[in-house]
Every structure is written in structure tokens, then in C-alpha cells.
Amino acid sequence: MRRDVVLVGLLWVLATLVGEYVVSTLDIYPPKAALEAEHIDQAIRTLLMLAVPVFNFVVVVMLYSIWRFRARDEAEVGEPIYTHRTFTVGWLVVTSALAAVLFYNPGYVGWKFLKSNPTADLEIQVTAAQWHWHITYPDYGVSLKSRPIGFARIEENPVLALPAGKRVKFEVTSDDVIHSFWIPALRMKVDAVPGVVTTMYVTITETGSYEEDAVFRVQCAELCGTGHPRMTMPVVILEPEEFEDWIKQQQMQEAMGGSMEGMEKQGDGH
Ligand SMILES: [Cu+2]
């Protein structure tokens, strides 16, 4: 038995070293375009690094037991095991300690970072409804409205433009059920709740567009009915000067009563 414990211990250490190497070097993270995104990816990395030893312990003990203690000829019922106090208490203490570490960081530290700076260069209002987004730039009198056409034809929807290097405040609400406003490239997401305005601050760092990567899109992230996956629209992040040009273009279009009104007529009449 002692030999088994030593062997399992060695296998566990080996599997953990390999696992830690993989999760700390493997780049599974899609393009990111916000300061907050760095922190969120780092939080996922931390979670994986703490999960590796626990996961490997369970898997190594299980596989070793299946291999070493399997019934070879005739199956017989072994001695019953009632409890192992040291192991039970040890397991509880170690896993609780790991959870406590996570509650503090990235939990509390990350939450404080996301909430610590309520200033913004630009304000954007977002109203969700089954199944479209209504986006308004109140400082510029520009508004956009998506239609529920989904991922395959996402390019037919108006584009949500954001300026790189600026801090943006999103004020989010809903006209009907709970939705969730999510831009994967920013890694940030906030629920859209009817009767409540939720806020989300994001510091945009990089330019990018939907053509480059599908993470540059708005996506509803709270199941809200049959049209839920179709609540999507492309995002483009522009240099500030290009963003100003984009705004002027939108203002001109709106002044001409052009595309926007046409789009609303084609919409579902919301
Ligand atoms: Cu939804």
C-alpha cells in the first residue's frame, strides 16, 4: 500500500507539472481589445492553474485504482471503508483554502478593479429587446438598431463603432426580458434588466473589426427566447479620428432620414 501511495504521489506531481506548463503557456485566448480583457484572461489562467492539481489528483487516483486494484479473476467484495478522517479533513481544508484564494483574487481584487474608475470619455446607451439591440450615442445624436438576423448575415446589421484608446461607459437596459450585452473582444458583459440601468466601463486599447475576428461583435449572452442567438451585430474599433468621421457619417445619414428609417421599417416594428 505504501508503494502505491508513493507511486500515485509521483504520478500526480508529474501530471501536475505537465498540466501547469500547458495551462500557463497554451494560448487559448481570442484577440482582445480592452484593458479589462487582460485581467479577465489572467483570471481564467489563475483558475486553471489552481484547478490543475485538484483535477489531476482525482484523475490519477482514479486511473491508478482502476488499473492496480481491479478484480483479476473472481470479483470479491473487499473490506468496507467507513471513513478516513485525516484525508477528509485535509481535502476540505485544502480545497476551501484554494476557493478562499480565488474569492480574494481574482474575485475581490478583479471586481474592485472593474468598479474603481467610474469615468468615461464616451457614453453609449444600450436597450435590448426581443430580439434586437438599440444603441444610442447621446452626445452625438446617433442611434443604431440591429435586426434579429443572426451570425450568418450579421454584416447586414449596422456596425457598433468604438474609439480605440478611450474609456467607454455603457448604460444598459431592456424593454422586455433579461438580456445580456456582451462584446467578446472586450471580455466584458453586463445584464440588460427591464426597469434597471446597469453600467459597464471598458477601456478600449486596440483597433479591430468583425472582418478580422468574430469576437468583435455584440452578442446577447442571456437566453431570452427563440431569437436569442440572432441578437448580434458587428463591432468595429477605430482610431479616434476615424471614429469622429464615422460619427459624422452617421449624423449625415440620420439627417437625410436615410438608411436608419428604412431599417426600422423593415424591422419587426418594435
Ligand atoms: Cu438573448
pLDDT of residue 79: 83
Backbone dihedral angles phi then psi of residue 175, each to the nearest 5 degrees: -90, -20
pLDDT of residue 217: 96
> Per-residue confidence of the chain (270 residues) as pLDDT tens digits?
789 999 999 999 999 999 999 999 988 999 999 999 999 999 999 999 999 999 999 999 999 999 998 877 777 777 888 888 999 999 999 999 999 999 999 999 999 999 989 999 999 999 999 999 999 999 999 999 999 987 788 889 999 999 999 999 999 999 999 999 999 999 999 999 999 999 999 999 999 999 999 999 999 999 999 999 999 999 999 999 999 999 999 999 888 875 544 454 444 444
Q: Could you tell me if 237 and 216 are in contact, meaning their C-beta atoms sit under 8 angstroms apart?
A: yes
Q: How far is the CA of 177 from the centre of ligand 1 (A)?
A: 9
Closest by Cα among 104, 197, 184 to 151: 184
Q: Which helix (H) or strand (E) holds 208?
A: strand 208-209
Q: How far is the CA of 115 from the centre of ligand 1 (A)?
A: 25
Task: Give the three-state DSSP class for 230.
Answer: helix
Burial class of residue 133, CB neighbours in 10 A (0-12, 13-18, 19+) = buried
Cell of 39: 485581467
Q: What is each CA distance from 103 to 11, 50, 90, in whole angstroms?
A: 29, 12, 20
Q: How far is the CA of 111 from the centre of ligand 1 (A)?
A: 24
Q: How far is the CA of 147 from the centre of ligand 1 (A)?
A: 13
Q: How far is the CA of 228 from the centre of ligand 1 (A)?
A: 4
Please tell me the distance from the alpha carbon of residue 187 to that of residue 218, in angstroms, as a whole number: 11
Q: How far is the CA of 226 from the centre of ligand 1 (A)?
A: 8
pLDDT of residue 268: 46
Q: How far is the CA of 172 from the centre of ligand 1 (A)?
A: 14
Q: How far is the CA of 225 from the centre of ligand 1 (A)?
A: 7
The pTM (predicted TM-score) of the whole model is: 0.83
Q: How far is the CA of 224 from the centre of ligand 1 (A)?
A: 4
How many residues does the structure list for the chain?
270
pLDDT of residue 252: 92
Residues with CB under 5 A from ligand 1 (ion): 179, 220, 224, 228
Q: Could you tell me if 190 and 181 are in contact, meaning their C-beta atoms sit under 8 angstroms apart?
A: yes
